[in-house]
Structure 1
Amino acid sequence: MEENGGIRQSVNGAAGASNSVANGSGRRLTDDEFERYSRQMIVPGMGKEGQLRLINSRVLIIGAGGLGCPAAQYIAGAGVGTIGIIDGDVVEASNLHRQVGHSTSRIGMKKVDSLIAHLKALNPLPTYVPYPFRLTPQNAADIISKYDLILDCTDNPVTRYLISDVCVLVCKPLVTAAAIQKSGQLTVLNCPPTPQGLVDGKYAPCYRCCFRKPPPPSSMVSCGEAGIMGPVVGMMGVAQAGEAIKILASALHIPAEAGGGDSSNTERNLQQPTLLIYTYDLESAVGPYTFRALKMGGRKRNCFACGENSTLTLEGIKAGTPDYVQFCSAPAPAVSLPPEERITAAAYHAAREKGELPEHILIDTREKEHFSFGSIEGAINVPFGKFLMKAAAIKRDGGPASEILPADAATSDKPIFVVCRTGADSQETVEKLKELGLDRGGKRRIVDIVGGMKAWKQEVDPTFPYI
Structure 2
Amino acid sequence: MEKFSLGSENLDLRIRIAELERELAEYRSGTVANSNGHATHAVNEDDEDEEEEDLAPQNQDDKAVRLDLDEFRRYGRQMIMSEVGLDGQLQLKRSKVLLIGAGGLGCPAAAYLAGAGIGTIGIVDHDLVEPSNLHRQIMHTVEKVGQPKVKSIISSLKRINPNPKYIAHNYALTPENSIDTLEKYDLVLDCTDSPQTRYMISDACILLGKPLVSASALRSDGQLVVLNNPPGEGPCYRCVFPRPPPPDSVLSCGEGGVLGPVVGAMGVLMSTEALKVLLSKADKKKRRKPAHLSPDIRPADAKDATKKEETPEPKKFYMTIYSAFSETPFRTIRMFGKRKTCQACSPVATITKESMKNGSLDYVAFCGGKGSGKYPPLRKDEIINVEEYNKLRENKEGGILIDVRDDIQFGMCALENSINVPITTILTLPIAPENDGTDGGERTPIPIPSWLPRDASIPIYFICRLGNDSRIAVQRLKKSGLVKGNVIKDIKGGLWEWSRKVDKSFPLY
Deviations 1:423-457 (CA, angstroms, capped at 9, x unpaired)? 22122212322333320xx2444333233222322
Q: 1:52 aligns with which of 74, 90, 113?
A: 90
TM alignment of 1:51-200, pairs within 5 A: 51-194=89-232
CA contact (8 A) 1:423 1:450 kept: yes
How far is 1:345 from its partner? Answer: 2.3
How far did residue 401 of structure 1 move? 4.3
Aligned counterpart, 2:250: 220
Contact 2:426–2:477, Cα closer than 8 Å, also in 1? no
Deviates more, 1:346-355 or 1:310-319: 346-355
The letter of the residue matching 2:255 is E
C-alpha contact (below 8 Å) 2:238/2:344 kept by paired residues: yes
- Name the CA distance, whole Å, in 1 between partners of 2:321 and 2:87: 32
**Offset of 1:317 from its aligned partner?**
0.6
* Alignment of 1:343 onto 2:384: yes
Deviations 1:225-278 (A, max 9, x none): 22111111111110110000011011189xxxxxxxxxx88847x531112111
**Residue number in structure 1 paired with 2:499:** 457
Aligned equivalents of 2:382, 2:95: Cα separation in 1:
60
Judge conservation of contact 2:91–2:281 (CA < 8 Å) in 1.
Answer: yes
Question: Offset of 1:182 from its aligned partner?
Answer: 1.3
For 1:419 and 1:213, how far apart are their aligned partners in 2?
33
SS of equivalent to 2:331: strand
Distance 2:65 2:378 in 1: 69
The counterpart of 1:426, out of the listed 470, 474, 479, is: 470
Does 2:76 correspond to 1:38? yes
Tell whether the 8 Å contact from 1:11 to 1:19 is kept in structure 2 after alignment. no
Give TM-score, length-normalised by structure 1.
0.83
Residue 207 (structure 1) aligns with: 237
Cα pair distance change 1:361/1:19, threshold 3 Å = same
State the Cα deviation string for residues 78-128 of structure 1 (Å, max 9, x = none): 111111111111211211111111111222221111111111111112111
CA displacement 1:301-333 (0-9 Å, x = unmatched): 111111111122111111012122222235243
Distance 2:423 2:282 in 1: 46
1:191-249 superposed Cα distances (whole Å, 9 cap, x missing partner): 0001xxxxxxxx31111111122222222222122211111111111011000001101
Tell me which residue corresponds to 1:364. 403
**Percent of aligned pairs with the same residue?**
46
Query: For residues 83 and 16 of structure 1, do their structure 2 counterparts lie closer, same or farther at Cα, with a shift above 3 Å needed?
Result: closer
Indicate if the aligned counterparts of 2:190 and 2:212 stay in contact, CA closer than 8 A: yes
Distance 1:15 1:382, change over 3 A: closer
In the TM superposition, residue 15 of structure 1 has moved relative to its aligned partner by 7.3
Correspondent of 2:318 among 252, 268, 274:
274
Q: Name the SS for the 1:69 alignment partner.
A: helix
Query: 1:326 maps to what in 2?
Result: 365
Pair 265,232 (structure 1): closer, same or farther in 2 beyond 3 Å:
farther
Structure 1 residues 373 and 37 mapped into 2: Cα distance closer, same or farther (>3 Å)?
A: same
Q: For the structure 1 residues 401 and 232, does the alpha-carbon distance in structure 2 shift closer, same or farther, using more than 3 Å as the test?
A: farther
The count of residues paired between Structure 1 and Structure 2 equals: 426
For 1:239, which of 250, 253, 269 is the aligned residue? 269
**1:368 shift after superposition:** 2.6
Match of 2:440 in 1: none
Residue 337 of structure 1 deviates from its aligned partner by: 5.0
8 Å contact kept, 1:457–1:464? yes
Q: In 1, are the aligned partners of 2:32 and 2:69 still within 8 Å (CA)?
A: no
Q: Distance in 1 between matches of 2:339 and 2:188?
A: 21
Query: Is the contact between residue 199 and residue 363 of structure 2 (CA under 8 Å) also seen in structure 1?
Result: yes
Contact between 1:10 and 1:17, CA under 8 Å: does it hold in 2?
no
Alignment of 1:279-428 (within 5 A): 279-281=323-325, 287=327, 290-330=329-369, 331-333=371-373, 335=376, 338-357=379-398, 360-388=399-427, 390-391=428-429, 401-402=446-447, 405=449, 407=450, 409=452, 414-428=458-472
- Residues 103 and 137, structure 2, Cα contact 8 Å, conserved in 1: yes
Question: 1:368·1:383 contact (CA, 8 Å) conserved in 2?
Answer: yes
Equivalent-residue separation in structure 1 for 2:22 and 2:93 (angstroms): 19
**Cα deviation 1:10-58 (Å, max 9, x = unaligned):** 6745279569579x94644322121111111222322222222111111
Matches of 1:267 and 1:248 in 2, distance apart? Answer: 20
CA distance in 2: counterparts of 1:401 and 1:154, whole angstroms? 44
Cα–Cα, structure 1 residues 265 and 444, in superposed 2: closer, same or farther, change >3 Å? farther
Asked if structure 2 preserves the Cα contact closer than 8 Å seen for 1:361 and 1:379, the reply is: yes
CA–CA separation in structure 2 for the residues paired with 1:343 and 1:247: 54
Kept in 2: contact 1:275–1:294 (CA 8 A)? yes
Structure 1 stretch 75-84 or stretch 24-33: which is displaced more? 24-33
CA drift of 1:190 comes to 0.3
SS at match of 1:139: helix
Structure 2: distance between partners of 1:399 and 1:57: 68
Asked if the contact 2:426/2:476 (under 8 Å) is kept, the reply is no
- Relative to structure 1, the CA distance from residue 248 to residue 313 in structure 2 (aligned partners, 3 Å threshold; closer, same or farther) is same
Q: 1:393 to 1:232 in 2, by over 3 A?
A: farther
Aligned-partner residue type, residue 477 of structure 2: L
* Residue identity opposite 1:272 in structure 2: K
Larger mean CA deviation between 412-421 and 13-22 belongs to 13-22
Q: Decide whether aligned partners of structure 1 residues 328 and 132 sit closer, same or farther in structure 2, where only a CA change above 3 A counts.
A: same
Q: Match for 1:449: what amino acid? A: I
Distance 2:64 2:376 in 1: 67
Helix, strand or coil at the partner of 2:202 = helix
- Calculate the aligned-residue CA RMSD, in Å: 3.1
Partner of 1:3: none
